[in-house]
């Protein structure tokens, strides 16, 4: 489980060059279920044993025992889903990027999904403390007929403690390739100006994006109906890629919204009804 250490202690522990951690996972289909066939890790980044709450789908929880990422830390996660495999990756608690005196922290995630495989990347929200400096990169490689659902939910500052986001910077990159060709690229830079501006987050502390494919016109219409006239929710479809965005004053409400979208579309993409990881209820 994640532990929430004091930020000043973490900065002391992770000072200098920072911590480097790597995790590499490989999923394969075997005897009617998906197994975690590869699990290599270096540094403070690992996984619990797999869970099977819905039969053959492999549920895995990524663990970062320090509980927070500080200046100079570098985390790298990669996962490969082989043909016919089905896996869901989540986290047992919110991730945290703590304030920095100037150096950046980085996190990169690379997911490779083979034909007729499905992979769901559904971490709990990431809290970005005021003054944090980070670069986050998501690289998704999809083969033909691959299924994917993934989201990123960010909470800037800690509004419950009266903390906004008057300083700091988060640079977020998404790159999605299909059959070896770049399909979608996005770069988002969030700082104090973007946090406060009407063209940005307008002072709302939480923002998020959900990607899913293959998605149909019916999926788009179902999510549009779910959104209704909510001014801070939106959805579009590029080819068969569903892209849903939202901002909110509270990260838990935003996460609940994304879970509703997931419940609407999962059966058609994963070919199984929604089965929430047990850790989400704790």
pLDDT digits (tens, 9 = 90+) for 79-94: 999 999 999 999 999 9
Delimit the domains of the chain by residue range: 7-281
Q: How confident is the model at residue 199 (pLDDT cuts 50, 70, 90)?
A: very high
**CA distance linking residue 184 with residue 241, whole number of Å:** 10
The answer to whether the peptide bond before residue 214 is cis (omega within 30 degrees of 0) is yes
Give residue 100's pLDDT. Answer: 87
β-pairing, 105-113 vs 74-81, is parallel
Give residue 250's pLDDT. Answer: 93
pLDDT digits (tens, 9 = 90+) for 200-227: 999 999 999 999 999 999 999 999 999 9
pTM of the model: 0.92
Q: Stretch 159-169: mean pLDDT, rounded?
A: 87
Per mean pLDDT, which range of 23-32, 94-103, 105-114 is the poorest?
94-103
104 Cβ contact list (under 8 Å, min separation 6): 71, 72, 133, 134, 135
Give residue 161's pLDDT. Answer: 80
Q: Stretch 92-104: mean pLDDT, rounded?
A: 90
Give residue 102's pLDDT. Answer: 79
């Amino acid at each position: 489980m994640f532990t929430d250490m004091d930020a000043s202690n973490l900065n002391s522990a992770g000072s200098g060059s920072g911590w480097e951690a790597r995790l590499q996972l490989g999923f394969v289909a075997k005897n009617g279920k998906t197994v975690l066939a590869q699990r290599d890790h270096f540094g403070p980044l690992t996984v619990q044993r797999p869970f099977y709450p819905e039969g053959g789908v492999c549920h895995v929880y990524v663990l970062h025992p320090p509980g927070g990422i500080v200046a100079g830390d570098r985390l790298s996660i990669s996962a490969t889903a082989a043909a016919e495999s089905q896996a869901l990756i989540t986290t047992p608690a919110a991730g945290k990027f703590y304030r920095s005196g100037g150096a950046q922290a980085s996190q990169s995630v690379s997911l490779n999904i083979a034909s007729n495989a499905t992979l769901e990347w559904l971490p709990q929200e990431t809290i970005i403390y005021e003054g944090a400096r980070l670069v986050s990169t998501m690289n998704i490689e999809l083969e033909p007929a691959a299924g994917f659902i993934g989201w990123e939910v960010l909470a800037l500052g800690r509004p419950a403690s009266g903390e906004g986001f008057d300083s700091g910077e988060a640079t977020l990159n998404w790159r999605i390739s299909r059959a070896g060709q770049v399909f979608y690229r996005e770069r988002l830079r969030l700082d104090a100006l973007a946090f406060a501006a009407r063209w940005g987050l307008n002072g709302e502390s939480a923002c998020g994006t959900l990607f899913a494919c293959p998605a149909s016109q019916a999926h788009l219409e179902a999510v549009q109906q779910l959104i209704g006239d909510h001014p801070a929710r939106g959805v579009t479809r590029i080819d068969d890629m569903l892209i849903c965005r939202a901002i909110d004053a509270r990260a838990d409400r935003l996460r609940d919204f994304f879970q509703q979208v997931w419940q609407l579309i999962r059966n058609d993409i994963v070919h199984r009804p929604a089965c929430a990881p047990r850790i989400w209820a704790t």
